[in-house]
Amino acid sequence: MQEENVLSVENLVTSFNISGRDVNAVDDCSFSVKKGKTLGIVGESGCGKSVTSLSLMRLIPTPPGKIKSGKIIFGGKNLLDISEAEMRSVRGNKISMIFQEPMTSLNPVYTIGNQIAEVFMLHKGSSRKEARNLSIEMLRQVRISSPEKRIDEYPHQLSGGMRQRVMIAIAIACKPSLLIADEPTTALDVTIQAQILALMNNLQKENGMSTILITHDFGVVAETCDDVAVMYAGKIVEKATTKDIFSNPKHPYTIGLLNSIPKLGEKKQRLNTISGIVPSLSKLPKGCRFQDRCSRVTEQCKSIEPELLSLKEDKKVACFNIS
């Protein structure tokens, strides 16, 4: 039985005007998120992951950026066609986002209680007293101890892990259908990272949310994701279930990323790396964007850009030389 999609993105193109010309940071990307499931979007820094998430929320700074074309289908509507007022009722209410760095995302001059309560007052019409009580309950839900005390503290009084929990509390306050988490554990140490990921997993199951997890860490993907989209230089180069990506990667970039993960039990040796760097989006090579770093490159790769084609159900790859 075909699983229901909570979000479908079709041929999304987001560009930025640089020195008078449009440069596509997200280039013709299509993917979907199944109800109650987690999609991981993976790739190196600068590949377009965060721009994709901001595009879904319609938070691209204009100018210099703009969503040029495509569709973002959510709740039976194309979010690119609705008014800004309608989008504000979706943003934070039906689709929420956890940003990378909680210290810059939280307002330093307001207590964390005020910042959570604002969500309830804005989207649910709660009174100040109701919002405060609901905010305490949210802090309890994200496993912050002594929530009655913590609610009146400021962001600088909390540790990095606690600030990230507050960000999660704000994001899930209205029980959104879709949560977008942009590198939610990047600035945290490993033990806190594991706690935050376990918390997000539990909250997803409790609230029946769908999640988009944006990360560069395949370890995090293995722990939390059902499906994976691998991005390179603004394009999706491979899409599959998480199990398939780990057991049967096809694109040379995906294989390179997986080979660069250190493995337990192996003798000390140099880590595998992918040679070269991601090309500048303003100076992309003709043909395949990965050609300068690929061991399988042929003349065809240097002249024609491969399309993302289906190998089987739930498996798509953009490569001419699949082994």
pLDDT for residue 50 is more than 60? yes
pLDDT for residue 278 is more than 80? yes
CB 317 within 8 A of CB 237: yes
Percent of the chain with pLDDT strictly greater than 90: 63
What string of DSSP letters covers 87-146? HHHHBTTTEEEE-S-HHHHS-TTS-HHHHHHHHHHHHH---HHHHHHHHHHHHHHTT-SS
Q: So what's the pLDDT on residue 1?
A: 40
Three-state DSSP at 235 gives strand
pLDDT for residue 279 is more than 70? yes
Mean confidence (pLDDT) of the chain: 90
Label residue 2 by pLDDT band (50, 70, 90).
low
Residue with tokens 């600068």: 46
3-state secondary structure 131-185: HHHHHHHHHHHCCCCCHHHHCCCCHHHCCHHHHHHHHHHHHHCCCCCEEEEECCC
pLDDT, mean of residues 21-35: 94
pLDDT for residue 186 is more than 80? no
Q: How many CB atoms lie within 10 A of CB 14?
A: 23
Q: So what's the pLDDT on residue 277?
A: 87
pLDDT for residue 257 is more than 80? yes
Return left, alpha or beta for 265; rule: phi > 0 is left, psi -120 to 50 is alpha, else beta. left
Each domain of the chain, given as residue ranges in start order, spans 5-94+174-263+271-317, 104-173
Three-state DSSP at 198 gives helix
CATH T-level assignment (fold) for domain 5-94+174-263+271-317: Rossmann fold (3.40.50)
In tens, the pLDDT along 119-169 reads 999 888 999 999 999 999 999 989 899 999 999 999 999 988 899 899 989
Q: So what's the pLDDT on residue 219?
A: 86
pLDDT for residue 179 is more than 50? yes
Q: So what's the pLDDT on residue 8?
A: 96
> Which region among 78-92, 157-171, 187-201 has the lowest average model confidence (pLDDT)?
187-201
Label residue 103 by pLDDT band (50, 70, 90).
low
Class of residue 255 by CB neighbours under 10 A (exposed 0-12, middle 13-18, buried 19+): middle
Q: So what's the pLDDT on residue 190?
A: 82
Q: How far apart are CA 222 and CA 246, in angstroms?
A: 8
Can you say how many angstroms the Cα of residue 202 is from the centroid of all Cα atoms in its chain?
Answer: 18
